[in-house]
Amino acid sequence: MASDRDAKSLESRLNRYFESMGMKKDSRLNAEKLPRGYRKGYVVKLTLEMADYYHPEFEKQYAEYIFKLLEGKIEDSYRAFNLNVLIHEESFEVTLYLAR
C-alpha cells in the first residue's frame, strides 16, 4: 500500500517530467481561481486504483504511465502547471492544473 511519502515522491517525479516539457511549476494554480497573468486554465483529474499495489521500486514506471495518461488529456499548449498527487483509500488521486 502506498504512503503519503510515496505520493509526494511520485508527485516530484511527475513535476520534473512536466518541467522537461518547458512548463513552469506555479503553486498558485489551484481549483479556486486563475491567478493574475494567466488568461486560460484547464484542470485534468485522474483517479487510479493502484495505490494498493504500489511499490516504490517501480516509481519510475508508475510515473511514466501516469504522465502518458495526463499528457493524452492535454489538448492545447500551456506554459504553467501545478500538480497534486494524493492517496484516497486504495487510489491515487492526481490533479493537474494548467494555465497559459
How distant, in Å, are the alpha carbons of 20, 30, 56, 63 from that of 48?
Answer: 24, 20, 16, 12
pTM for this model (two decimals): 0.94
- The yes-or-no verdict on residue 1 having pLDDT over 90 is no
pLDDT value for 6: 97
Where is pLDDT greater, at 1 or 5?
5
CA distance 63 to 27: 20
Alpha-carbon span 30 to 56, nearest angstrom: 27
- Residue 82 has a pLDDT of 98
At 11 the pLDDT is 98
The per-residue pLDDT for 40 is: 95
Dihedral angle sign, alpha carbons of residues 20, 75, 26, 64: negative
Delimit the domains of the chain by residue range.
1-30+53-92
